Each structure stands twice: as structure tokens, then as C-alpha cells.
Amino acid sequence: MLLDDPDRRAIVAADPARVLESLAPVLLDEWQHLPRLWDDVRRRVDGGAEPGSYLLTGSASPDRGGGRHSGAGRIVSVRMRPLSLAERGLAVPSVSLEVLASGGRSAVGGECDVDLERYVDEILASGLPGIRPHAGRARQALLDGYLDRIVERDFPQAGHDLRNPAALRRWLTAYAGATGTQAAYETIRDAASSGQGNPPARTTVQPYMDVLERLWILDPVPAWMPTRSRLTRLTQPPTHHLADPALAARLLGVGAGQLLDGRSGAMSMPRDGTLLGALFESLVAQSIRVYAQAAGARVGHLRTKGGAREVDLLVIRDDDRVVAIEVKLSQTVDDHDVRHLRWLADQLGDGLLDALVVTTGHEAYRRPDGIAVVPAALLGT
């Protein structure tokens, strides 16, 4: 049942039992338009409904106001992200993240012919299934329409009165420019207001972040705060990412030519490396979060105060042991590229399950120091 259709929504609101008593499984798409369905489903689960009887899907997470039950023990929430590189079919993955996270330093191998230009194409193509089949101006129009819908329709429907849509669009563009960084929100706010007078107050900007995360548009990677190691002096800001790097590229107005030429587009933040490197990291991070979720793990990043040591991504098991991952926009890896991974190995001991560098190269292998080098297209679940 598609509940973004007002007529169908009115029918379900008038008689929800009629839909919920349909032959299982029952799919309730965009259920957040009728939040009472959450409690209706929960009560039916309590009444003995079989697992998998109801699937609630939606493009937003509504406020939990009105006394709605959390669904704990009845409803399992799963974050659905855009298609990973493995799902896009660039190559047959030969390295399993789940195997790496099991420890043991398994053998690593495989080859692919995916080159830098193909990864740029994937950054711009989007992992959203409805957008991927299109190219050129049609794709740009679809991405623009997606962003316009967020600003003009989804944001207000999420319960926030948006007085200045243009200000939100500028903030989103500034956030896109901060992709792959831990830029302070004040820095993003100031970039968004450049040339527009005084920057907006934090009370104005905070709802942007809150609502956009509920709309699944922002997907920052949180900092890892370990519980079983003696690591100290770690920073807590997240690494900024949008849910799909294609959205970031479109907001910044960059295409393949600009990215390959090293141009940064509108509102790019100070960073180490190029915008293309940041968007490639975002593409890899999106995929790794899909693989980690399938393996029952979560993803974070590590950075010490002052930035002397940092690791792009950590796949974290429930026991707080990790797989450490660096992302490099390069076909080759040298000792300098793995210095932070080797430092982390010294700090964690057996708390480090494995370490790898994800690259744009063509062959997966292990270095003599045991660190794996894996082309992004060859990594999978």
C-alpha cells in the first residue's frame, strides 16, 4: 500500500484493519505519513502475527511524539542505503569484509579492470536505483528534483516550518563541500552564509541537521570511542557524508571533467587532498557501511586531537575489536600510506582484527607487513 497517495492514505486511515488483515506479507510504503500504523502493527505482533508479516518502509523517520511505542522486541529497524559498489556490478568481489572482520588475516586476492574514470562515473551516477539508468542532463534533472523535493516538500512534512528554503539549500551545499572532513558545524554555517550577511544562529541550523538525518540525507560517520583499549586524546566530531556522493557532486556543481582536473566546485572546505579524493572516500564509506551492516557491525572513524593520527574508517564488532580501513585515491600503496594503520596495530594489539587500504588499483594482495590492499570494486560482503 503506497501511503504517499492521499486517497489511499485516507482509505487506510478510515479502516486500517482492512489493510492489516490482508494476506501476509503486507507492505506499507511511506508509512510515516500515517504514524499510527506503527502502533497498529505492534499490537498485531503482540497478538501473534508471524515474523515478516508486515514491512514498513519510508523515506523519513517521523518524530516519536504522541506516545508512540518504540517497537522494541517487535519491530526491527534496518537502514537502507543506496546501492553499494558490489551491488552495482562493477566486478565480482573477491574480498569479503565479513571474513576480514572474523580475524585470522585470511588470504587476499583477485583482479579487476575498473579504472579511475569508472569510479568517477559511479560517484556521479548515484546509487539510487531510479536515477542510475539515466545519464547527462536527465540524471542532473533527477538529482535536482530529488534535492528540490527534500527542501520544498519533505523538510516541511517532517514537521519543521521552513521560512527560507534558499538558506537550507546553501547549507546543504556547504555540507556537501565538507564531505570527508570533520569541519565544525560553525564552519559549515559560515560557508553557507558567505556573502549573505550575518550567519544564521545555531538554533536555526540545528533543525537542519536533525531533520536531514531523519530524512536519511545526512549520513555522517561517527567517531569511535573505544571501550577496551587505552587509546586517549581522540576527537569526537563525525566525518561528514551525504547519503549518496552523487548528491554532493550535484550540489557543488561538479562533473567528471572538473573532478578529474582537481577542481573543487562551490563552497569546498579546506581539506587534505582533492574533492575527488573526498567523494571517492564517500563512495567507499557508503559501500562499507552496507557490508558492515550485513555482517552485524557498525562503522566509525578515528582521529587524535590535533590530527597527528587518523584512520578513515573502522568496522567495529560488538566486542569493540575493529577492522581498520584507509581509503586512497591511488593505484599504488607505499609505507607512508599505511603509517596510521601500523600505529593503530601497535596500540590495539589483538583488538585490531585486520587492516586494509582501499584503492583505485586493479589487484588485491597483502603487503609484507600483513596489511591488505584491495581495489574498491573487489570488496564486498
pLDDT over 90 (residue 229)? no
Predicted confidence (pLDDT) at residue 67 exceeds the cutoff of 60? no
The pLDDT value recorded for residue 327 is 98
pLDDT band for position 320 (50/70/90)? Answer: very high
Q: Do 2 and 10 touch, CB atoms closer than 8 A?
A: no
| The pLDDT of residue 34 is above 60 | yes
Tell the burial category of 2 from Cβ atoms under 10 Å away from its Cβ (0-12, 13-18, 19+). Answer: exposed
Mean pLDDT of 150-177: 88
Q: What is the pLDDT of residues 144-159, one digit of tens each?
A: 999 999 999 888 887 7
* Secondary structure E strands in 205-359: 298-303, 310-316, 322-327, 352-359
In this prediction, residue 73 carries a pLDDT of 82
State the Cα–Cα distance between residues 367 and 90, nearest whole angstrom: 24
pLDDT of residue 314: 98
Position 216 pLDDT exceeds 60:
yes
Residue 96: what pLDDT? 98
- Residue 63 clears pLDDT 70, i.e. is over it: no
Residue 68: what pLDDT? 64
User: Per-residue confidence at 70, pLDDT binned at 50, 70, 90?
Assistant: confident
The model's pTM: 0.91
d(CA 374, CA 359): 6
